[in-house]
Each structure stands twice: as C-alpha cells, then as structure tokens.
Structure 1
C-alpha cells in the first residue's frame, strides 16, 4: 500500500530530525510569540525623530529616509538612503528599544510556564541520543532559543562566558563541567547580534543579561537591514559568530528551519550547496512559505525536503513526491508544537 501524504511527512520528518540537524530560526518563529516583525518595526521607525541637535544636513537625510520608508520596506529604504553613522545609531537604538521589551515579555511568560516554547521539547528530543551539542543558527535578535534551553535545564552557549558580565571567548568555548563531564550544550549562533550584546564606552564587546531597559552608555550590538548589514558583519563579534555558524552549516547532517524565509545570503549559501550536492535533508515550517524558499525548493536541486505551511484549518505539504503541494486538512503540523507530535511518540 502506498503511503498517505501524512505518512510521507512522518517519514521525511523522522529522517531529518534523527540526523540531529542544525536548527535555523527565522523571524516567523519569534512572531508566534508576539515579537514584531519588519512591518511593525517600520511603522515604529516612522514615528522616530532625529536628535535635537541634528544638523540641517542630518534633518534632510532623515526626512529623505522617512519619505522613502513610507513607500517601501525597511531594508529597501536603508539600502537606498545612506544615513550618517549618528543617524544609523538612532535606527539601531530605536530598534532595540522597540523590540527588546517584547523579548522580555516572553521571558516573563516562561517563568510561569516552562513548556511555553516548543523548542524546549525539540531540544530534549534531539538530546535523547548520543549528541553532545545542538547548533542553532538565527538572524533573530531575541533570546527565545536561549530561553528554551534554560527551560529544558540544558546549557546554552553564544560565544561568551557565563555570569552577569560576560566577555567574548576568542579562544573557544567555555563549558562548565557537570560531575566532571562536559555538559550537553545548545550553541546559539546569532549572526545579526542579540538584545543582550553591547559595546561599552571603551568599545569592548559585552553580553549583559538585561530586561526592558538598555543600560546607560551601552550601544546595542544588532545589525539592522540594508547596506549596514553587509558592512557590520565583517567586524567583531559578528565575524566570529558567522564563522561558527558557517562551520555548523557546513558539517550539518540535516537542516530544520522554522519561520525562515531564505532571504539572507549570509546564511543560506552553504545550506543551498549542501542540499544540492550532498542530499542533506531539510525541513521547513512556516506560516507562509516565502517566494524565495518556493523557488529554491521547486528548483529540483533539493533532493530531500519537507516544507509545510498554513492552509485553511490545516497544512499544505511540499516534498519531492508533491512538488506543487498537497493539502493536509485539519492537521496544523506547520506549527512546531503540532509538528513535534509527528516525531515524539
């Protein structure tokens, strides 16, 4: 008897997850927990004004940016309108101040419900094996990947030491042994920065576990969309993090993508190469699969994939056997929590 689409989804899901895949988190995952995406950030930035001591040239530049931002998306506006370093800092600070409280709100919810984040269950399942590490690669600034590890009682590592005043680990990871053994660890490689990363007054990189308010005199280390993204990611700490992310992607036996739109060349070049040349399995869960992801998956270059998106009250599944998609009524396995029911019996 031939397999049903749901049976096929189960088989493809198990093949990918059993490989201890690299987890790639996009903004769609965070959006499910109330963290705004680019449209809401754009609306917020349209309300931001330049510094009170801005020069006439800076006012003109800012007004030009606002005019363009009113007509196009944030990344396009930042690509087309070159802002001074000071005005770029206004964008960065305003982005942090708008988004960081939403991240902290998730943390407050997690204090009441340790099962809030489905990543927690996924981590536990992946470590129900001989795996010593799990790698997460994400362009997101939020700390949902780290929160999920903490909720599972699993160490996480982001390239910094432990404690309240965390410094970089340029010589490699620092792991706190448990009963003399190296603990299982979730490595979280945040290629565009994080809400808890800052430059201090001496331009030293620090990781500070903060809440809703940015520490005085500290500059957020987050990369906003646009040309600045490509310039900044060649500097530290981004360069070291990207190196680790690339290493994880190059050696991965599978890719598990959640809410990821395949719109970041920084991340997917290696992923695309390995899926095309080495048949590395890929799973993609998304509320709506992006046009870029559709093009990639339908190109015939990915030999093993399972992509799921919302469709009415159920899901639509794409895979090599169903390249144009097949509907799975009343099955919301495009959502991570529901998807995990396929693989955690």
Structure 2
C-alpha cells in the first residue's frame, strides 16, 4: 500500500475544518511509519473525506489497471494467466482465486489465455449482480472450466447506483459520484461495515468456503494483515497441513510469522534478496539466500514449477 499512501498524500484536497483535522491525523500516522491500514484504522473520518479516499483509491488503482490491460491484450504474455491455464492441465474444473485487491488483474489474466472466469456478475457492459452460483457457463455440451474470483474488498467495476442497485460497469473513467458509488472497501474504520451486505457478504462467504476446502495455497503479494483471509489460512494449515507457497517482493513481518509459526510443516516462502532470492522453509525458518533471481515473482515461479 506504499504507492497508494503516496498517491493519497499527493492528491488529497480537504475542505473544512473537520476534513483538515481528520486528514492531519492520518498524515501524522503515516509520517510516523504506520502503513496505510494502521494509519486509517480506528479513526472516525467525515463521510465527505471517506468519499474522497474511495475516489482517489479508485483512480490510483485504475491508472495501473489500464496499463495492465494494454499489456495483456498486446501479446498475452501474462504470468498469472500462464499459471492459471497450466493449472487446468488436470482434472480440475474450477480454480478458486481469493483476492483483497480492487484491480482486474485476475480477470485480465484469464482473458489473456482464453480462460473463463466468474466474479458474481452476469456478463455484459451493464452487469447485474447474480451472486456466485446462479450463472452457469457451458462449453459445448459440458460445464466449462472456470476460475472463480472472490473479490472480498470489491472491484473497480462494482458500483452502487443512486437508486440503491448493485451493478458492474467495466469502465476506466470514474462515473459521476452523484449517480454511482464505487463498491470498494478501503482501509479504516468502516472497512468491515460494508461487508454485511451484498455483493460483499456473498463474496466473503464464497471465499471462506474456498479457503476452508483448499487442498493447497499459493499466496502472491499477500501481507497477512487481513482478518477476512488469514485466519482461514491458519485454520486450514493447522487442520490439514496443506502445501503452502507465499511469494512477495518483500515478505511482511506478519507473513514471516505465519510461515514460521502457523503454516504447518509443508510451506515455502520466497522474497527478493539483493540480486537473488531468500527462501523460507521448515528446514530454514529464518531463510536462506540463493543466487537465483526473481523466484519471488510469478514469472520466476512459473519458470521453476511449470
């Protein structure tokens, strides 16, 4: 969230004493070293300021999303798409992707390799919320292989209309705030309040089921700071000792604690270390340096396992 923090600090324009005072508390927390989640957590912010945070967050993530779409459409060289397509070289008919990100990386990845996906919305330009089980995709006469994407914090293309409808709009410009409110759950005091209603409630329930029944976990760039996800990971690892791989440019302290103390005895963690990589395993819980570069990235991981 470092880049998002910088973006908010650079772009935020406050109005009135209430917004100025509230944003000053957030800026002070960030300046003292808190990450964005911690800086916003527990603070009562004016609704007008929360709306600005949501809008700026949408724009920040959307800028990169557009570039990713161009790359995916240009040559289809998308590491996540390659991984997902190869995972279907098996008897599996579904792959479960649980993400806290608002971006459409998983969707672009599927499209880059002609893999079908579902997010709970009906296909189209104006998408209606259909939950996760009501739309069935068929390939020929058989049920299609599908990646189910559980976006527990919402998505750039999810919106609540002024007349209180939930719709999906695959857009790259933020629609009028008077008519559409982005359905993304930003860090802070109201983070969990939004999750009691759809589409979040159904999505979180689906994600819980996916995590509870998982036979293995591959975590990419996950910081293990989200109370919606990592308790389920810990529970499954304790119950079944399922194989778990965690990849990140820099593993957070929470991720390292998970690997060392909660992931069981069948795990692998990889992060960038200088020009090489550092690998964590039950045999080397404090990590060991290797000269192989980019093993922590999906490209590097794909080269290792595919």
TM-score range, shorter chain: over 0.9
Q: Residue in 2 aligned with 1:179? A: 140
Q: Residue in 1 aligned with 2:110? A: 149
- Per-residue deviation at 1:63? 4.2
- Per-residue deviation at 1:70? 4.1
Instruction: Provide the TM-score with structure 1 as the length reference.
Output: 0.83
Q: Residue in 2 aligned with 1:165? A: 126
Distance 1:70 1:310, change over 3 A: closer
How far, CA to CA, are the matches of 1:70 and 1:314 in structure 2? 31
Q: Residue in 2 aligned with 1:312? A: 274
Q: CA RMSD in A?
A: 1.8
Q: Bigger shift: 228-237 or 250-259?
A: 228-237
Which residue, out of 162, 166, 178, partners 1:201?
162
Distance 1:70 1:121, change over 3 A: same
Contact 2:98–2:152 under 8 Å retained in 1: yes
**Aligned with 1:137: secondary structure?**
strand
- Per-residue deviation at 1:309? 1.2
Q: Bigger shift: 222-231 or 56-65?
A: 56-65
- Per-residue deviation at 1:313? 2.0
Distance 1:134 1:81, change over 3 A: same
Which residue, out of 127, 135, 155, partners 2:96?
135
How far, CA to CA, are the matches of 2:19 and 2:250 in structure 1? 39
Q: Bigger shift: 265-274 or 77-86?
A: 77-86
**Aligned with 2:191: secondary structure?**
helix
Q: Residue in 1 aligned with 2:6? A: 43
**Aligned with 2:287: secondary structure?**
strand
**Aligned with 1:227: secondary structure?**
coil
Q: Residue in 2 aligned with 1:275? A: 237
Contact 1:276–1:303 under 8 Å retained in 2: no
- Per-residue deviation at 1:281? 0.8
**Aligned with 2:162: secondary structure?**
coil
How far, CA to CA, are the matches of 2:80 and 2:22 in structure 1? 42
- Per-residue deviation at 1:170? 3.5
Q: Residue in 2 aligned with 1:61? A: 22
- Per-residue deviation at 1:280? 0.8
User: Which consecutive residues of structure 2, in runs of 5 or more, have no partner in the other structure?
Assistant: none
Q: Residue in 2 aligned with 1:123? A: 84
**Where does 1:1-345 land on structure 2 (aligned, <5 Å)?**
38-46=1-9, 47-51=11-15, 54=16, 56-71=17-32, 72-115=34-77, 117-170=78-131, 172-211=133-172, 213-216=173-176, 217-299=179-261, 302-344=264-306
When the two structures are aligned, how many residues end up with a matched partner? 302
Distance 1:170 1:310, change over 3 A: closer
